[in-house]
Homo-oligomer: A and B are copies of this chain.
């Protein structure tokens, strides 16, 4: 496990939220909040990272997350370069490291890495020069730390607390990096009641998500919760064991207005996007008054600005 912190305790890489303390998470969330502006107002723009270079190195397509990181870096004054690399799996680890050494030699200061294979961001972080930071933008099913931060920031904005909240995570928890990073953050921030809701085939292994109650009925799972985090269902899951397809999935697991009514009246609805409307979530709910899905996106760029400012701040000084 690559250490994320510098000897002085400051954040150097962001690979996972699993090992961050409550204080470290709160510090990042507080900093992110300073970059949030309402829709229609100008986003903040500084030259805090002028002269620094951020590379987005994506081996999986993800336009939305790439653009969010790109704008976060540019609004802090950094140069940004985008690379989409296809690496053959046989030589992937070493090719990835050679690409990373190349970027480092081009005076890149931070690498934003998305990869479908577990371990790649950590591998890279373990090999870069001491002044270079690595940020995960999504690692296999394992981790998506900036998503976990934007999710918890969104919850805090609406609830002004974490203690005492009940949060349901609904759908394909087993394969979800979003669920894992949310869970790491929620646990550290003191949310005791995190529920996993979905078909058995999509539940994580028994030794994961310790202390989370598991529900095989969406109705009971949503009862009285403050927060509903819907997950995207990949169509390739359909046909697995007890995962019905399309319409049947919606009938069994989709978030409808009726099911939403089982949660607290002020419950919020979240989704990491892209959404399968009519499959895991009804459009009335996605676009309804309780949806905070667009807040999540807005908070995403703020969180990424905070993380970049945090890890590169020392470089700048």
Give A165 Cβ to nearest chain B Cβ, in Å: 24
The 0/1 profile, CB within 8 Å of B marked 1, for residues 62-105 of chain A is 01100110110011000101011100000100110011011111
Give A238 Cβ to nearest chain B Cβ, in Å: 15
What is the chain B residue whose CB lies nearest that of A64?
A: B102
Q: Quick check: B67 and A106 within 8 Å, CB to CB?
A: yes
Q: Quick check: B71 and A101 within 8 Å, CB to CB?
A: no
Give A184 Cβ to nearest chain B Cβ, in Å: 24
Q: Which residues of B contact A84 (CB under 8 A)?
A: 63
Q: Quick check: B102 and A81 within 8 Å, CB to CB?
A: no
Q: Quick check: B63 and A85 within 8 Å, CB to CB?
A: yes
Interface size class on chain A is 35 or more
Give A45 Cβ to nearest chain B Cβ, in Å: 5
Q: A79-B71, A297-B105 are in contact. Are A274 and B129 (CB under 8 A)?
A: no
Which of B68, B103, B105, B129 is A106 in contact with, Cβ under 8 Å? B68
Q: A94-B277, A298-B106 are in contact. Are A71 and B53 (CB under 8 A)?
A: yes
Most B C-beta atoms less than 10 A away, residue of A55, A74, A107, A294: A107
This protein's copies in its complex: 3
Q: Which residues of B contact A297 (CB under 8 A)?
A: 101-102, 105-106
Q: Complex Cα distance A273/B95, Å?
A: 10
15 other A-B residue contacts (CB within 8 Å) besides A68-B106, A98-B274, A105-B297: A37-B107, A40-B129, A40-B130, A42-B51, A53-B71, A63-B84, A67-B81, A67-B103, A71-B79, A71-B106, A74-B79, A91-B277, A94-B283, A101-B294, A102-B297
Contact sample, A vs B, 18 pairs, CB 8 Å cutoff: A39-B105, A39-B107, A42-B52, A53-B71, A55-B67, A63-B84, A63-B85, A67-B83, A67-B103, A71-B79, A71-B106, A71-B107, A94-B277, A99-B274, A102-B273, A105-B294, A105-B295, A106-B300
Write the residues of chain A forming the contact surface with B, with a CB cutoff of 8 angstroms: 37, 39-40, 42-43, 45, 51-53, 55, 63-64, 67-68, 70-71, 74-75, 79, 81, 83-85, 91, 94-95, 98-99, 101-107, 129-131, 273-277, 283, 294-295, 297-298, 300-301
